[in-house]
Amino acid sequence: MQKFLPYYQEIKLIGHFGLAYVATLAGAAAMMLSRVAGGDKVGASFALAFSAAAAGILWIVPFLPSLPIPDEYRVWTMAALALACMPAIKYLRGGSGKNILLLWGFFALSQTAIFFCVYYKVI
């Protein structure tokens, strides 16, 4: 694809910026809905702020052209960054382990759903 489109990596990165925006909204909605499963109440400000930062890192950093990450390891890098979100929630939010696990689980589920919809064309 690089020979056909000379700026393929930059176009792909711009697409991931769009995905980060969609992932921010999906992650914030999922974190606010986590209280349905028995978690504590999460405000929109925390959910949007955390989702914007985490989704931006999760969807943009592994695909930066300046990072020498081979293509086959980019998905594993995304998984590692998603796992790193759990201690970040614990540090920023505090609370019991059950609530932290619910918040992270709902956030990770929303990101996984977007990943499968985009890369494996589930929908």
CA terminus-to-terminus distance, the chain:
24
Residue 17 lies in a domain: yes
Q: What is the pLDDT of residue 49?
A: 93
Residue 2 within any structural domain of the chain = no
pLDDT in tens, 71-123: 889 889 999 999 999 999 989 888 788 888 999 999 999 999 999 998 887 66
* Global confidence as pTM: 0.84
Domain presence at residue 39:
yes
Q: What's the total number of domains in the chain?
A: 1
The reply to whether 18 falls in a domain is yes
pLDDT tens sequence across 21-77: 999 999 999 998 887 887 777 888 899 999 999 999 999 998 888 888 888 898 899
Distance (Å, whole) CA 26 – CA 24 = 6
Which pLDDT value is given to residue 1?
Answer: 58
Helix axes 74-93, 97-119, angle to 10 degrees: 150
Domain span holding position 42: 8-119
The Cα–Cα gap between 34 and 58 comes to 20
pLDDT of residue 67: 86
pLDDT the model gives residue 106: 93
